[in-house]
Chain A
Amino acid sequence: MSENIAERVKKIIVEHLGVDAAKVQDNANFIDDLGADSLDTVELVMAFEEEFGCSIPDDAAEKIRTVKDVIDYIQKQV
């Protein structure tokens, strides 16, 4: 199940940021490694919320920096 979440998260990142799937590693930082800007990260959070039917409040979203941060957060929620 957790692998499934990671895969789904990475798929969304690839689609939204238009980056190479190989770059979307667990420790990849959205801004520094994946070229996201502040608006991209807002849009990504919305996409995660939609995909996993959860809510990611702004306070929590601000702490998300890497791909692993997202996977960990969603695993706790669902």
Chain B
Amino acid sequence: MRRVVVTGLGVLSPLGYGVKANWYALASGQSGLSKITTFDTTDFTSRVAGYIPKGTGEGQFNPDEVLSPKEQRHVDPFILYGMAAGSQAMQDANWLPESEEEKNRAGVYFGSGVGGLQGIVDGGYLIQKSGPRRMSPFTIPSILINLIGGHLSIKYGLQGPNIACATACATGAHAIGEATRLIREGRADVMLAGSSESAICPVGIAGFAQMRALSTHFNETPQKASRPWDKTRDGFVMAEGAGALLLEEYEHAKARGAKIYGEVIGYGITADAHHFTAPGGTGAKRAIEQALNEAGISPDQVDYINAHGTSTPMGDMVEFKAVKEIFGDTKVAMSSTKSMTGHMLGAAGSVEAVYTLLAMQNNLMPPTINLDNPEEETQGFNLVPNKAQEKRIDIALSNSFGFGGTNATLLFKKVSE
């Protein structure tokens, strides 16, 4: 079977722009969350969020580095972020297709959970206020989810498969898993895979708040608001971000002497078939089992799990129980980096794949911060509370679960040769 390895990483999140800034914050257990500053939150129950730091300083995102001011006007921020993450991954991998054949064998699989939400809202306002003739011709291409992939293909000449997925908070993991399959089955040699999200806008916040999904009791202490498995957790904190991996067929990567972060050895995909927003059933457990089985890995071989762990009262424990049933009292430890980033929705899966690979590379497990009073049921299980822990990590797993009851698990392994 064709093996698939990761040779490039790209990430922007509330913890910063780029791998270096993100890893520094993860290793030192810093929160990237703050009060919502981009609109008036007076009547909102949840007033905290995670913004990508913007500016020209170190670890800050400067959009002008990715697109000209003219081009920026024609894309929603989720496309801009996706392009930024994708570009980072391409640069990190130090690879560009040159021949026509190489271009035809390289593609993009890039998704988003909700796409250009604010752009749709703005279009709605404009058409009511000024009529259909005032609608910008860029409205539609600025909100379409697959346009991240479209723009990246144009920028880098990636002429192979070009697909997007939209599986809510599992989007990033699905994009990476599906892109891996395309390389395995021989449709491409290289795939740029990832996801992006920018939904911190009034409709996004109010919409999730009305589902009672968001944290509302930590509005004055935003950095305490995301607290997976802690007894006082009360919902997730919405964040923006984007992550990308350059996936490459192993021989292709080896032939050009690429640096290899790890191999994608397993991928689990299931549905709860239970409820359209509430987690339940056996979906999470089966996704993890599928990923392990595909790779021929037993639970006691897994060193680290990067949890979905969004800090919702129900979701955290459903995931914990699934993990506990499979892994029991093995050496595995699990942390939720969402305690620091908040929940980047569709971007979470790809950003956390980057984090999982970095944890493996550095043999360091980022902590679950704000874990002051863990749920009784989690006693005895290492959730990496509050401080990063050193550990040799050869095999690591990343979970992503989405509305609609869709689940994806990615399993990575260190490549030793």
Contact = CB atoms under 8 A, between A and B. Distances in A.
B68 A18 contact: yes
Contact of A18 (B70, B134, B138): B70
A17 B70 CA distance: 7
Contacts of A18: 68-70
A46 B70 contact: no
A6 to B, nearest CB: 22
Contacts of B380: none
A18 B141 CA distance: 19
B198 to A, nearest CB: 22
B57 interface: no
A39 B70 contact: no
Contacts of B133: 46
B134 A43 contact: no
Interface in B61-81: 68-70, 74
B68 A46 contact: no
Interface in B121-143: 133-134, 136-138, 141
Nearest to A35: B70
B136 A46 contact: yes
A42 interface: yes
A16 B136 contact: no
Nearest to A46: B134
A39 B69 contact: no
Contacts of B136: 43, 46
Interface in B53-104: 68-70, 74
Nearest to B133: A46
Nearest to B136: A43
A52 B133 CA distance: 16
* Chief secondary structure at chain A's binding surface: helix
Contacts of A16: 70
A33 B191 CA distance: 35
A41 B137 CA distance: 9
A43 B69 contact: no
A17 B137 CA distance: 14
Interface string B135-158: 011100100000000000000000
A69 to B, nearest CB: 19
A39 B68 contact: no
Interface string A35-65: 0000100110010000000000000000000
Given A17-B70, A18-B68, A18-B69, A39 B141 contact: yes
Contacts of B134: 46
A17 B69 CA distance: 10
B68 A43 contact: no
B137 A43 contact: yes
Nearest to B134: A46
Of B68, B70, B136, B137, most buried by chain A (CB within 10 Å of CB) is: B137
Nearest to A49: B133
A18 B137 CA distance: 17
A42 B68 CA distance: 20
A17 B73 CA distance: 11
A58 to B, nearest CB: 10
B139 to A, nearest CB: 10
A39 B70 CA distance: 13
Contacts of A39: 74, 137-138, 141
Contacts of A46: 133-134, 136
A46 to B, nearest CB: 7
B70 A43 contact: no
16 contacts: A16-B70, A17-B70, A18-B68, A18-B69, A18-B70, A39-B74, A39-B137, A39-B138, A39-B141, A42-B137, A43-B136, A43-B137, A43-B138, A46-B133, A46-B134, A46-B136
Interface of A: 16-18, 39, 42-43, 46
Given A18-B70, A43-B138, 14 more contacts: A16-B70, A17-B70, A18-B68, A18-B69, A39-B74, A39-B137, A39-B138, A39-B141, A42-B137, A43-B136, A43-B137, A46-B133, A46-B134, A46-B136
